């Protein structure tokens, strides 16, 4: 918080004049709960610190290795000062790129987590709806702190609804509208919009929740089937590319040794570089598929 206050004092007036509606929407969906002007101020402060640190390192590097800097400047046909400023410019650009990518990455990660837990949470909420509990109470109970251990980011989304209704004094429909606009998950936004329309039109909320429960159960089943099909394809590729192909090439190298001599370099490259790399690659693909297929 102190860094945010300091950065806003330094760059706040300048950043308040910047309008970035699309990025501001993404910032809200990421649930970082930071105003756009404050976020841009922190980014400017981080970029300034990066420039200062890189300039200090460039000066130290110039004092320790002046001949190397001169050789690089002659090689690139650039002034020595420009060579020293290249790392500073690269680091500054990296800070801004990371700052603008961070909300998108946070929003995408939350989207995956929300949609992963939504079918199970709807099943839980459907049971409460069948028991005759009002929709507002169902949403607030799902957003309670103890439910975050079960439903994670989805429970935090419902906690935002509880804040709007219990502390900010908004009506249920207004809070649902805000939640549907700011959530990073289109699937969850569609669910919230349908719930709001059911409440406004006086429809049967219990039937709506029951229908959504069966719909999301079907989606989970389809997703699992697609994941199994992908893993089946990946296993076939693994057997063909990782197991059969290296063995085939090793046998070929052994068979041709009597004609062209021992191929030590090719054998070492195939055994100690290609095979381990392929194993790590397939392991990462399988792990990512398992993580986002849950």
Among the candidates 179, 196, 217, a domain finishes at: 217
Among the candidates 55, 86, 107, a domain finishes at: 107
| Whether the model pTM is above 0.85 | no
Residue 237: per-residue pLDDT? 81
- Write the burial class of residue 11 (CB in 10 Å: 0-12 exposed, 13-18 middle, 19+ buried): buried
Token pair in block for residue 19: 């309008």
Query: ∠ at Cα 57 (55, 60), nearest 5°?
Result: 110
Domain count, the chain: 3
Residue 12 has pLDDT above 90, yes or no: no
**Residue range of the domain that includes 239:** 218-292
Residue 292 has pLDDT above 60, yes or no: no
85 vs 92: CA distance, rounded Å? 11
What lies within 8 Å, CB to CB, of 246 at 6+ separation is 270, 271, 274, 275, 278
Helix (H) / strand (E) element for 244: namely none
Among the candidates 190, 217, 244, a domain finishes at: 217
What phi and psi, each to the nearest 5 degrees, are found at residue 156? Answer: -65, -35
What lies within 8 Å, CB to CB, of 241 at 6+ separation is 278
Once rounded to an integer, what is the mean pLDDT over residues 202-214? 92
264 vs 257: CA distance, rounded Å? 10
pLDDT digits (tens, 9 = 90+) for 223-238: 888 878 887 887 888 7
- Average pLDDT along the chain: 83
Asked whether residue 116 falls in the same domain as residue 213, the answer is yes
Once rounded to an integer, what is the mean pLDDT over residues 40-63? 81
Asked whether residue 102 falls in the same domain as residue 10, the answer is yes
Cα atoms found within 13 Å of the Cα of residue 253, Cβ hemisphere only? 16
Residue 122: per-residue pLDDT? 93
Q: Give the pLDDT band (50/70/90) at residue 180.
A: very high
């Amino acid at each position: 918080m102190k860094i945010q206050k300091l950065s806003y004092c330094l760059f706040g007036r300048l950043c308040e004049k910047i309008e970035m509606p699309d990025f501001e929407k993404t910032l809200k969906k990421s649930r970082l709960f930071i105003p756009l002007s404050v976020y841009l101020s922190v980014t400017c402060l981080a970029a300034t610190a990066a420039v200062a640190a890189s300039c200090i390192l460039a000066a130290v590097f110039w004092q320790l290795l002046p001949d190397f800097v001169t050789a690089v400047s002659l090689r690139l046909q650039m002034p020595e000062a420009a060579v020293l400023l290249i790392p500073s410019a690269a680091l500054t650009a990296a800070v801004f790129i990371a700052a603008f990518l961070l909300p998108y990455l946070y929003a995408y990660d939350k989207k995956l987590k929300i949609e992963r837990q939504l079918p199970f949470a709807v099943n839980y909420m459907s049971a409460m709806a069948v028991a005759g509990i009002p929709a507002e109470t169902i949403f607030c109970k799902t957003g309670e702190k103890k439910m975050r251990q079960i439903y994670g980011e989805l429970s935090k989304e419902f906690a935002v609804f509880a804040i709007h209704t219990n502390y900010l004094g908004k009506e249920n429909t207004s809070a649902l509208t805000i939640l549907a606009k700011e959530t990073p998950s289109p699937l969850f936004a569609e669910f919230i919009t349908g719930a709001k329309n059911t409440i406004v039109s006086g429809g049967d909320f219990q039937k709506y929740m029951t229908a959504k429960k069966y719909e999301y159960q079907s989606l989970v089943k389809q997703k699992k089937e697609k994941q199994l099909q992908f893993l089946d394809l990946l296993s076939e590729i693994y057997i063909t590319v990782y197991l059969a192909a290296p063995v085939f090439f090793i046998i070929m190298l052994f068979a041709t040794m009597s004609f062209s001599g021992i191929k030590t370099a090719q054998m070492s490259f195939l055994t100690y570089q290609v095979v381990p790399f392929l194993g790590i690659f397939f392991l990462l693909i399988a792990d990512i598929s398992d993580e986002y297929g849950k």
